[in-house]
Amino acid sequence: MKSSYIIDYINENEFRKKERAIKKYNMLAYKKLLFDYYPSLREGTFPGVLVSTNDKDAIDKYELTLPTDKTFTKVHGNITLHYSVYRNQKIVMLETLTPEDILTEGHQKELTTYKGVMVSKSHKELDMFKINLLNSMNKNGFFKLNISSWILTLLTIMFASALGIFIAKLIIK
């Protein structure tokens, strides 16, 4: 049986602010964090990717990507929990949640959502442009092309480029 670990924080106030922003704007990630990941950390199973190990001090650093909407990920990036495990002291130190800029802004101000994705007040137009671009690419089937369509498109571009080079060489002579 694995012994239990204690969960602690590098900066609890800042971490809790980001955690509340996740609760408000991304309930799925918050529920997985609260009901799945925190209990597993206490039990001594460490989900996520091992980023670095310090054998001298017995410290392991992990990054755990929380589940979120694909559009949110493409606009703002993955929601990631960064934590360290102090094996000798049996402590899990929660460091931060990223992307920090949107989570910190989400705590400070009431953010609006556009087509189901939260939009930053500091760069609202850029976020809305990204969301519209992703939606139009999905709607027009840009991401739904099969391999043969990609190959046909690539061959067409290569043929047009070769024809352009050939014509340019004829004009230069």
Same domain? For 106 and 164 the reply is no
The number of domains in the chain is 2
Question: The CATH number of the domain where 75 resides is what?
Answer: 3.30.2310.20
Q: Is residue 116 part of a domain?
A: yes
Q: What is the mean pLDDT of residues 73-77?
A: 82
Same domain? For 96 and 47 the reply is yes
Same domain? For 30 and 70 the reply is yes
Same domain? For 50 and 123 the reply is yes
For residue 3, what is the DSSP state?
A: P
Q: Return contacts of 24-27, CB within 8 angstroms, 24+ apart.
A: 24/106, 25/106, 25/111, 25/113, 25/118, 26/66, 26/68, 26/69, 26/72, 26/79
Return the minimum-mean-pLDDT range out of 43-47, 77-81, 117-121, 137-141: 137-141
Question: In whole angstroms, what separates CA 135 from the centre of its chain?
Answer: 18
Same domain? For 80 and 147 the reply is no
Q: Is residue 30 part of a domain?
A: yes
pLDDT at 141: 61
Same domain? For 14 and 29 the reply is yes
Contact 18, 107 (CB under 8 A): yes
Same domain? For 116 and 166 the reply is no
How far is Cα 119 from Cα 150, in angstroms, rounded to an integer?
Answer: 33
Q: Is residue 1 part of a domain?
A: no
Same domain? For 104 and 150 the reply is no
How far is Cα 131 from Cα 125, in angstroms, rounded to an integer?
Answer: 10
Residue range 9-24, pLDDT digits in tens: 999 999 998 898 888 8
Residue range 94-136, pLDDT digits in tens: 999 988 777 777 656 677 777 777 777 777 788 788 888 877 7
Same domain? For 120 and 63 the reply is yes
Q: Is residue 82 part of a domain?
A: yes
Quick one: pLDDT band at residue 166, thresholds 50, 70, 90?
Answer: confident
Residue 162: give the domain boundaries. 142-172
pLDDT at 51: 93
Quick one: pLDDT band at residue 156, thresholds 50, 70, 90?
Answer: confident
